[in-house]
Amino acid sequence: MRRAFLIVLDSVGVGGAPDAGSFFNGTVPDTGANTVGHVLRDVGLAVPELARMGLFEALRLASGVEGPRVEVDAAWGAAEEVSRGKDTPSGHWELTGLPVPWEWTTFPDRRPCLPPEVAAEVIRLSGAGGILGDRHASGTAIIEEEGEAHLRTGWPICYTSVDSVLQVAAHEEAFGLGRLMALCEGLAPMLHAMRVGRVIARPFTGGPGAFRRTERRRDFAIPPPGETLLDRAHGAGRRVHAVGKIGDIFAHRGVSTEVKGRDEALMGHLYRLAGEAGEGDLVVANLVEFDSEWGHRRDARGYARHLEWFDGELGRLRAAMGEGDLLVVTADHGNDPTWVGTDHTRERVPVLVHGMRGGLGVMPFTEVGAMVGRHLGL
């Protein structure tokens, strides 16, 4: 059986990007950022399955940082990006063969940060009397800061980061989940025309002091400007299974089935697909909580715990692979939880391959998708 599973651990970088000095958190360049390396240094990591797949060899190759040395039973390498972004669309598109051919539009780190015409369109589409936030912020922090005012006024909370994104948060009951989704879907064409990569709907529940983001997030992403691995597989008659936010990232193009949920639920879907996916199928997954729950919050201990949780699940998934299956574990960018600021960090990413052996060296992001395509005969 020749199937391929491509799992993107969102933000699990290994440092060493040669152009990190031209990317910033605030005024501080990303030079020296190293998500796995600094979690290992500051907290420690017990990840025997990832180690056997070559995580620490990839770390050493990418950035020169030493980790535990164990016998490796997979192929390993590191990949570096050429797209001028350190965000989700850039990373995923390039991993599947499509570097971003333009400079993304971002919003300035000032208050207000949105152009007046964008703020006016949010107000028009929402029917609200104004907007809250309108600044760079961490998603969890801004909900705590503006949530009470949101409940009082009914105004949506708008925020951004150094990435090409506009996020809109609103209370599922008080504002309405359907209303939030309609707002973001209606806003997306305007933002896409400006070359802003995503409009993200961020629903939350609860009350002051106990607000909680829910799993019903939805990304309205600009469509990829060319063919990706998903398009090639789908066009060749293969079934392409999107797990997590993959469908949103690729604007639901080249996708046969989609499932969403929290990382724990998504691992359950991966086990199911290990048993159900057919000959020639492609499974592409994104596990986002490394990034959303621990990286942006700069919580190194939480990041370590989530890596260790995934490591335990990875052993089961590898055992479920059939003869001839390829399982690739990689990442889309970094988000060093020990770094300054709250934004992503420019880093190389690990490339760990069950179904092959040996060192793969440093490769472009595009080689990851090319390797999967060769395995599937595309």
Q: Which CATH number fits domain 116-219: 3.30.70.1250, 3.30.40.10, 1.10.10.60, 3.60.9.10?
A: 3.30.70.1250
The model carries a pTM of 0.92
pLDDT digits (tens), the chain, 378 positions? 699 999 999 999 999 999 999 999 989 999 999 999 999 999 999 999 999 999 999 999 999 999 999 999 999 999 999 999 899 999 999 999 999 999 999 999 999 999 999 999 999 999 999 999 999 998 989 999 999 999 999 999 999 998 999 999 999 999 999 999 999 999 999 999 999 999 999 999 999 999 999 999 999 999 999 999 999 999 999 999 999 999 999 999 999 999 999 999 999 999 999 999 999 999 999 999 999 999 999 999 999 999 999 999 999 999 999 999 999 999 999 999 999 999 999 999 999 999 999 999 999 999 999 999 999 999
Buried b (16+ CB within 10 A) or exposed e, 8-19: bbbbbbbbbbee
| SS3 assignment, position 128 | coil
Say if CB 120 and CB 144 are below 8 A apart. no
User: Parallel, antiparallel, or unpaired for β 282-287 and 240-243?
Assistant: parallel
CATH of 4-101+225-376 given 3.40.1380.10, 3.40.720.10, 3.40.50.300, 1.10.760.10: 3.40.720.10
For the chain, what are the domain ranges?
4-101+225-376, 116-219
Beta carbons within 8 Å of 242's beta carbon, 6+ residues apart: 230, 250, 255, 257, 258, 259, 284, 285
Structure tokens at 238: 């293969």
